[in-house]
């Protein structure tokens, strides 16, 4: 029996975790709590013992997002906050490229990735060798890569970006055109927001590419007064049918600031749950597209990685030194 399976929902655990359940009771059924609470309690105790922090992306399930995360946010916030994390150990409740970014920015710290196979269809769509070929084809054109890429790809890039700062990063270079890789739809969106010429790649996010403009029009017809906000990894017809486009953090801020009576967030579906906990006056309409990679991270494997201090993310120092420059350049753009 695993250490996680041996944990029990004792009166002590129930009392210690009651305030945490309160935060997520609108989205986590009470019947599930006795399963989550012992794991949450054990993780939070072990974090203190190990001087560890858990970084969680906005797509994590509510029990991770509200139960054990110390830092939550979009990819940009996680990269920025990883750079200043005051801990010996970072546990990434996200996907592999996020853990690599955290390791690049914290070479001396232990970075744990609870499931090493939590990948990303965008990161898988391009290699360092592809970028070297593109540089031969477009000599002198700077390479901007989305953070949703491997360290190998970042090492071949001039600068990284996220969906939250892509336009700012492209414009910071002071050039007429850039290679913008690998997300084709984010590239197309950025092209609508800047005069800089954008040369794109054919990578897609397997979660966001499934939404369609027709689907959104059907939702509008069914739900009066619906506000639709979308992530720029969606296809152009989806963005055209939306009221606002932004990174996951920008979408959350939009809902918090505008308090629409009804909203549809066109992105991974756990995000609506995470936001809904704090906004009882907003009705969330949820077409549910799950990211299978994000969902590989669970309370059980977070606990196990803190117990065993494995698996650890390591990056070849020669690759890391070059990849770090691209990430640090991105972070400097926002300062
Ligand atoms: P952001 O959180 O940066 O908007 O990215 C979305 C995403 O799909 C991350 O994998
Ligand atoms: Fe990658 Fe899309 Fe999953 Fe984000 S949601 S990790 S971009 S596959």
Atom of ligand 2 at shortest distance to CA of 293? 3
Task: Tell me what pLDDT residue 68 has.
Answer: 97
Best probe residue, ligand 2, of 208, 270, 271 (max atoms within 8 Å of C-beta): 208
* 189 marked as binding residue: no
Residue 81 has pLDDT above 70, yes or no: yes
Indicate the SS3 state at residue 73. strand
Decide: 183 in ligand 2 pocket, CB within 6 A.
no
pLDDT in tens, 185-206: 999 999 999 999 999 999 999 9
Task: Tell me what pLDDT residue 234 has.
Answer: 98
Decide: 58 in ligand 2 pocket, CB within 6 A.
no
Q: For ligand 2, atom 3, which residue shows the shortest CA distance?
A: 291
Distance 232 CA to ligand 1 centre (A): 9
Task: Tell me what pLDDT residue 209 has.
Answer: 98
Do β-strands 159-161 and 143-146 pair in parallel, antiparallel, or remain unpaired?
parallel
Residue 5 has pLDDT above 80, yes or no: no
Residues in a beta bridge with 62: none
pLDDT class of 82 with cuts at 50, 70, 90: confident
With CA atoms as reference, report the closest residue to 112 among 300, 302, 299, 292: 302
Q: For ligand 1, atom 4, which residue shows the shortest CA distance?
A: 247
Residue 95 has pLDDT above 90, yes or no: yes
Decide: 99 in ligand 2 pocket, CB within 6 A.
no
Q: What is the CA radius of gyration of the chain?
A: 20
Percent above pLDDT 70 for the chain: 98
Task: Tell me what pLDDT residue 3 has.
Answer: 56
* 160 marked as binding residue: no
pLDDT in tens, 130-170: 999 999 999 999 999 999 999 999 999 999 999 999 999 99
- What domains, with CATH codes, occur in the chain? 11-120+294-308 (3.40.50.10800), 123-202 (3.40.50.10800), 208-285 (3.40.50.10800)
Cα 74 to Cα 161: distance, rounded to the nearest angstrom: 12
Indicate the SS3 state at residue 238. helix
Decide: 301 in ligand 1 pocket, CB within 6 A.
no
Decide: 165 in ligand 1 pocket, CB within 6 A.
no
Mean pLDDT of the chain: 95
Distance 14 CA to ligand 1 centre (A): 34
Decide: 101 in ligand 1 pocket, CB within 6 A.
no
Residue 2 has pLDDT above 90, yes or no: no
Cα 39 to Cα 199: distance, rounded to the nearest angstrom: 46
Decide: 149 in ligand 1 pocket, CB within 6 A.
no
With CA atoms as reference, report the closest residue to 201 among 214, 216, 186, 211: 186
pLDDT class of 43 with cuts at 50, 70, 90: very high
Residues in a beta bridge with 147: none
């Amino acid at each position: 029996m695993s250490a996680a399976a041996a944990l029990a929902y004792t009166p002590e655990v129930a009392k210690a975790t009651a305030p945490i359940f309160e935060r997520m009771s609108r989205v986590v059924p009470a019947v599930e709590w006795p399963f989550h609470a012992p794991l949450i309690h054990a993780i939070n105790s072990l974090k203190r013992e190990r001087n560890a922090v858990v970084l969680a992306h906005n797509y994590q399930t509510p029990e991770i997002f509200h139960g054990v995360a110390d830092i939550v946010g979009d990819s940009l916030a996680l990269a920025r906050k990883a750079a200043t994390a005051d801990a010996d150990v970072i546990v990434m409740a996200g996907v592999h490229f996020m853990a690599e970014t955290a390791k690049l920015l914290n070479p001396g710290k232990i970075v744990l990735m609870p499931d090493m196979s939590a990948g990303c269809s965008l990161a898988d769509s391009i290699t360092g060798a592809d970028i070297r070929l593109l540089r031969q084809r477009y000599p002198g054109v700077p390479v901007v890569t989305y953070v949703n890429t491997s360290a190998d790809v970042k090492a071949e890039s001039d600068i990284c970006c996220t969906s939250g700062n892509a336009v700012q990063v492209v414009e910071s270079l002071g050039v007429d055109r850039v290679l913008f890789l690998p997300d084709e739809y984010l590239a197309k969106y950025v092209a609508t927001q800047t005069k800089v010429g954008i040369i794109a790649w054919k990578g897609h996010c397997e979660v966001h590419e499934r939404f369609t403009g027709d689907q959104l029009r059907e939702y509008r017809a069914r739900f009066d007064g619906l506000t639709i906000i979308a992530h720029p990894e969606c296809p152009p017809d989806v963005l055209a049918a939306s009221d606002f486009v932004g990174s996951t953090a920008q979408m959350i801020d939009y809902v918090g600031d505008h308090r629409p009576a009804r909203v549809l967030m066109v992105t991974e579906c756990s995000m609506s749950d995470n936001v809904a906990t704090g906004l009882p006056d907003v009705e969330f309409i949820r077409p549910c597209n799950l990211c299978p990679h994000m969902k590989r991270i669970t309370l059980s494997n977070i606990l196990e990685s803190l117990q065993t201090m494995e698996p650890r993310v390591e990056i070849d120092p020669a690759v890391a030194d070059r990849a770090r420059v691209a990430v640090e350049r991105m972070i400097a753009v926002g300062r």
